[in-house]
């Protein structure tokens, strides 16, 4: 039976598995304040002990909005299993939104205000801010001043020998790169003269 | 800004534990104090008072999501799923700035991320470096002591050539990557990280610190300055609310691996 009673008589469900975030809660409070007539058409559902089965968030929001009396509908004779099933099914949305239609036919600001989550779209940032700032070669300096590596493949028979040699030179703090360049330069001038 | 006195609390969280969904309890501009000393802060929306930083974050975010920036890619199910590969959620990251020696990878020397050599990534790198410098200005303005201390630690330990900006060595951008509980043990002790969040059509991705029972809202355009070396922390799961949903963090951090390196 739908009736209007003191909000103090209603008990929030301690096992309610749903929660509401701050931003959405504020929107719900605003929504209730702006359109309280809806509360009569969507009463809070309670069991015989006045524990909420449907409308925990609305109850909290009504309290926050300063509402003293709210509309309830009481279910009678339901098993615990039925009550649990109701708590979930009451909050499951099986339908999907047609966002194209909403974007074209509805005021999206109002939809957002009413608590409907609309997809956000990518915006193009203003790149001109980058043109106004000169880093004075700082980026080039970062890469121009560090060691870089080349991958040199070796035949299987030579690999371990090369590995051990490079390791030994490194351990003795000898710059292998320079030695390699010098050796290759020598080889280059030899085959050029030939 | 709200003053938040962090207090150590008991918990059972260990390094490696998976971080589940936790709702944030730090949602407004706050400075974090521990034992009377400021150790970090949170700005919920950079675009309100730090427009330049917000603009640069927009550019870096857009560039990172383009094909112009190379990245290490992973994939996971979106939860929208019907096994359709197109609906898988992409996860990727890109490191720029200095990368420490990795002898186990046969690279016994420090270097600069190879991303710096990619021509198409130059806009991203410029935006990130400028964002880093803007972040430093914000740190200096909000927590001057923290700025001074971090500048001193970096100056004393890291040669100029390995610095990214003035307070950091490196940067990583994490796209849709949550994290199990961990401590950034590779960071310079006494220094803070900067974590700037960009997101669209997603929930989660909040940084949670069990030691203080604090979970910081990873809001779009938010900036968190936090000493990640100090405590175990995790990042809550990122859940898209629409198919293109994502959450990206632009992070600047100081590594101790460059200590004393020429």
CB atoms within 10 A of CB A180: 14
Cα pseudo-dihedral B80, B86, B89, B94, rounded to 10 = -170
**Is the Cβ of B51 closer than 8 Å to some Cβ of chain A?**
no
Kindly list the residues from chain A whose CB atom is less than 8 angstroms away from the CB atom of residue B109: 147
Kindly list the residues from chain B whose CB atom is less than 8 angstroms away from the CB atom of residue A147: 109-111
Interval A55-72: pLDDT, tens: 999 999 999 999 999 999
- Look at B137 and A104; give whichever has higher pLDDT: B137
- Please give the pLDDT value at position A80: 95
**Is the Cβ of B95 closer than 8 Å to some Cβ of chain A?**
no
Interval A2-34: pLDDT, tens: 899 999 999 999 989 988 877 889 999 999 999
Q: Which of A155, A146, A160, A150 is nearest to A180 (CA)?
A: A150
Chain A: residue whose CA lies nearest to B121: A139
Paired tokens of A57: 């968030």
**Is the Cβ of B97 closer than 8 Å to some Cβ of chain A?**
yes
- Look at A170 and B105; give whichever has higher pLDDT: A170
Please count the residue pairs, one from chain A and one from chain B, whose beta carbons lie less than 8 angstroms apart: 62
- Please give the pLDDT value at position A1: 79
Contact A127 B59 (CB under 8 A): yes
Paired tokens of A80: 């615990």
Contact B129 A21 (CB under 8 A): no
pTM greater than 0.90: no
- Please give the pLDDT value at position A7: 96
Q: How far apart are CA B222 and CA B199, in angstroms?
A: 10
| ipTM attached to this prediction | 0.81
To the nearest whole Å, the CA of B56 is away from the closest chain A CA by 8
Dihedral class, residue A133 (left if φ above 0, else alpha if ψ from -120 to 50, else beta): beta
Kindly list the residues from chain B whose CB atom is less than 8 angstroms away from the CB atom of residue A146: 110-112, 161
Contact B225, B171 (CB under 8 A): no
Q: What percent of chain B has pLDDT over 70?
A: 95
Cα pseudo-dihedral B209, B212, B213, B219, rounded to 10 = -50
For chain A, which residues score pLDDT lower than 50? Answer: none
To the nearest whole Å, the CA of A20 is away from the closest chain B CA by 10
B238 backbone dihedrals φ, ψ, rounded to 5°: -100, 120
Paired tokens of A148: 């870089």
Contact B55 A129 (CB under 8 A): yes
The shortest CB-CB distance from A125 to any of B62, B107, B161 is to B62
Chain A: residue whose CA lies nearest to B65: A122
Contact B55 A22 (CB under 8 A): no
């Amino acid at each position: 039976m739908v009736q209007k009673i003191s909000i103090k008589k209603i008990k929030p469900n301690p096992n309610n598995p749903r929660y509401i975030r701050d931003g959405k809660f504020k929107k719900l409070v605003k929504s209730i304040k702006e359109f309280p007539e809806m509360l009569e058409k969507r009463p809070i559902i309670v069991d015989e002990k006045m524990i909420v089965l449907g409308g925990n968030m609305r109850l909290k929001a009504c309290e926050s909005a300063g509402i003293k009396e709210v509309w309830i509908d009481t279910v009678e004779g339901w098993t615990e299993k039925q009550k649990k099933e109701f708590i979930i099914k009451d909050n499951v949305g099986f339908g999907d939104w047609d966002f194209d239609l909403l974007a074209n036919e509805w005021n999206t600001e109002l939809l957002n205000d009413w608590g409907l989550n609309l997809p956000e779209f990518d915006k193009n940032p203003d790149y001109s801010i980058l043109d106004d700032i000169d880093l004075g070669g700082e980026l080039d300096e970062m890469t121009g001043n560090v060691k870089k590596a080349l991958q040199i493949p070796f035949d299987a028979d030579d690999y371990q020998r090369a590995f051990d040699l490079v390791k030994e030179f490194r351990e003795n703090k000898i710059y292998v790169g320079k030695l390699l360049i010098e050796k290759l330069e020598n080889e280059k001038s030899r085959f050029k003269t030939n | 800004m709200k003053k938040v006195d962090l207090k150590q609390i008991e918990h059972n969280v260990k390094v490696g534990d998976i971080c589940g969904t936790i709702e944030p309890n730090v949602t407004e501009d706050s400075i974090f104090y521990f034992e009377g000393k400021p150790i970090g802060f949170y700005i919920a929306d950079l675009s309100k008072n730090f427009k330049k930083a917000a603009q640069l974050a927009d550019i870096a975010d857009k560039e990172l999501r383009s094909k112009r920036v190379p990245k290490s890619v992973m994939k996971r199910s979106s939860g929208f799923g019907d096994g359709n590969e197109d609906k898988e959620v992409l996860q990727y990251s890109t490191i720029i700035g200095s990368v420490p020696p990795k002898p186990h990878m046969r690279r016994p020397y420090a270097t600069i991320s190879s991303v710096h050599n990619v021509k198409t990534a130059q806009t991203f790198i410029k935006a990130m470096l400028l964002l880093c410098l803007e972040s430093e200005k914000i740190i200096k303005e909000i927590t001057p002591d923290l700025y001074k201390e971090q500048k001193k630690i970096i100056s004393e330990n890291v040669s100029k050539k390995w610095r990214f900006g003035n307070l950091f060595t490196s940067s990583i951008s994490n796209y849709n990557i949550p994290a199990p509980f961990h401590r950034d043990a590779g960071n310079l002790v006494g220094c803070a990280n900067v974590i700037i969040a960009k997101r669209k059509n997603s929930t989660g991705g909040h940084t949670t610190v069990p030691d203080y029972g604090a979970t910081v809202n990873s809001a779009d355009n938010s900036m968190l300055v936090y000493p990640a070396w100090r405590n175990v922390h995790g990042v809550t799961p990122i859940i898209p609310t629409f198919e293109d949903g994502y959450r990206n963090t632009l992070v600047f951090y100081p590594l101790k691996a460059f200590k004393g390196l020429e």
